[in-house]
Amino acid sequence: MKYNELEVTANKTRKRVGRGISAGGGKTAGRGTKGQGARTGKKLGATFQGGQRTLVRAVPKARGFKSLRTPAQVVYLDTLNALKGKTIDNFVLYEEGYIDTPFHTVKVIVRGEITEKVTLHIANISKTAEAAVVKAGGAFVKTPVPLRQSTKEAEAADKK
């Protein structure tokens, strides 16, 4: 059979059930036997679960706005004193235990004072924190967040 030979009827005539055995849809008329679904006049909602509390009612309505963006990991200015003389990036902060993962945005904000000279290679810093770093003799270089290397790329790099 070919596609152009298919006979398609745009509007099928509906099947008339409950008109006797010989008509093909007699006796129970496609409703099965007994029970709530077999009775007339009872329309079951799409969420009906046989009298049990429905999932729609059990789950609370999600109101408001929920951002899918992961918030920046915060590093305080006074903690950078321990890393004096180093060039600080996401990986250094991760190894020192100040952040959870090196593959998310990091932001340095003010708390306490910085006394040591440091060079920051991170994504974000507050204006007052940047001013404090520069005042202490350090520098801030805005650097994009490092991307996680896939396992295939890592294996290929190891083989070379």
Host domain of residue 85: 73-142
Q: In the beta sheet, which residues pair with residue 87?
A: 119
131 located within any domain: yes
117 located within any domain: yes
Q: Give residue-wise pLDDT tens across range 15-73.
A: 898 898 888 888 898 888 888 888 888 778 888 888 899 998 898 888 888 888 889 99
107 located within any domain: yes
Taking residues 141-157, what's their average pLDDT? 85
Distance (Å, whole) CA 53 – CA 19? 37
Instruction: Provide the CATH number for the domain around residue 115.
Output: 3.100.10.10
Q: How far apart are the first and last CA of the chain?
A: 56
Q: How far is CA 76 from CA 95, 101, 112, 124, in A?
A: 16, 16, 8, 12
The count of domains in the chain is 1
pTM over 0.85: no
Q: Give residue-wise pLDDT tens across range 81-129.
A: 888 878 899 999 999 999 999 999 999 999 989 988 999 999 999 999 9
